[in-house]
Amino acid sequence: MIGRLKGILASKMPPWLVVDVNGVGYELEAPMSTVFDLPAVGREVALFTHYAVKEDTVALYGFLREAERTLFRTLQKVSGIGAKTSLAVLSGSSPDEFARLVQTGDIASLTRIPGIGKKTAERIVVELRDRIDGMALTLPGMSGSVPKDPVAEASSALQQLGYRPVEVARLVKDVAEAGDSAEGIIRKALKAALR
């Protein structure tokens, strides 16, 4: 099992990262909350990881914070929630914000997260309300072969998180301003989607 990686950030193409650890490039998928806070390509990074093995695939997920990895793992214990939806949750809200939504039973806000319908949101509230209580969810404190157009890069990343192209176009149009980086557009779009 791979629990943590420390190496040089070789590339980031949200939601994918490559971390070079002594000449071996580990490809990881990460939530936008981690991608936003990564150092520049070529700098050292340490990530908590979750190693997943299924019948036909092996995947590695990376998180800057232990609370994010804990929530990622906890979410997958809910019937009908997999890694993609868990990443979408972490990309759209912090562990603290998500815990607040679950504690208050805010089904409407939970259904705004891609991949979570009303029944799944209700199941999350029922199954996680007690678990979230005991979790320590307090948060501690683009380059490479990325498209040069920040709007296109942001749109691509949002679609990979599960938003439909129509939703992406509306979100990006509403929040993008001249001079915004792709990261800035993604951050604003995700905040707008949860309103």
pLDDT per position as a tens digit, 123-155:
898 888 777 754 544 333 323 333 457 887 888
pLDDT per position as a tens digit, 88-105:
888 877 788 888 888 888
Ranges for all domains in the chain classified under CATH 1.10.150.20: 66-134
Q: Span 150-193: which CATH code?
A: 1.10.8.10
Ranges for all domains in the chain classified under CATH 2.40.50.140: 4-63
In CATH terms, the fold of domain 4-63 is OB fold (Dihydrolipoamide Acetyltransferase, E2P) (2.40.50)
- pTM exceeds 0.75 for this model: no
Distance between CA atoms of residues 42 and 143, nearest Å: 10
Ranges for all domains in the chain classified under CATH 1.10.8.10: 150-193
Alpha-carbon separation of residue 45 from 2, 41, 52, 53, 74 (angstroms): 15, 9, 21, 24, 24
Class of the CATH domain delimited by 66-134: mainly alpha
Chain centre distance of CA 81: 14
* Cis, peptide link before residue 15, omega less than 30° from 0: yes
